[in-house]
Amino acid sequence: MAAEGRLQRELTWGDCDPAGIIYYPTYYRWMDAATWALVASAGYTAARMRAEQCTMPLVNAACDFLSSATFGDPCEVRSHVSRWGRSSFTVTHEILMVAEARVLARGVESRVWCRYEHGPGSPLRSEPIPQEIRAALGAPSV
């Protein structure tokens, strides 16, 4: 079964727009942070990603906005890998206010597992997603 990541976020003053609700790119900031946290939970922490010169650029991202969070609202991002390729993978995120069982947004990110040839800024080449991550996050056996 797919392992689920959970990331807590309380909507700050600066995450909101003049309508008093969440400025929509904030959802993408949260989804990005949630994916890095999910990968960290599978053993690839920020420090290890840096040391092994790995990164995971985006191919596509999309989000449906169902209900608006307001300044101060406690939110949760629930994330799991919903599609496993050899190098590419898709993370599906649900952002909700748990206490009220209210779903705010549902999004997806498609990414590619990559390594820098010579550190940040140098060209990237795709690599197979590490077996350790597949196992930790419940990829189906091949």
- For binding to a copy of itself (CB under 8 A), which residues are involved? 12-14, 16-21, 23-26, 28-29, 32-33, 36, 40, 45-47, 50, 55, 57-65, 68, 70-72, 116, 119-121
Residue 60 or 131: the one with the smaller Cβ distance to a copy of itself is 60
Closest separation between CB of residue 101 and a copy of itself, Å?
A: 19
Residue 40 or 138: the one with the smaller Cβ distance to a copy of itself is 40
Closest separation between CB of residue 131 and a copy of itself, Å?
A: 22
Closest separation between CB of residue 46 and a copy of itself, Å?
A: 3
Residue 3 or 124: the one with the smaller Cβ distance to a copy of itself is 124
CA distance 64 to 39: 23
Residue 12 or 82: the one with the smaller Cβ distance to a copy of itself is 12
Closest separation between CB of residue 97 and a copy of itself, Å?
A: 13
Phi, psi (rounded to 5 degrees) for 15: -85, -5
CA distance 84 to 81: 7
CA distance 48 to 8: 23
Alpha helix (H) ranges present in the chain? Answer: 25-41, 46-51, 131-136
Residue 23 or 138: the one with the smaller Cβ distance to a copy of itself is 23
Closest separation between CB of residue 39 and a copy of itself, Å?
A: 11
- 3-state DSSP assignment of residue 138: coil
Phi, psi (rounded to 5 degrees) for 40: -65, -40
CA distance 88 to 57: 10
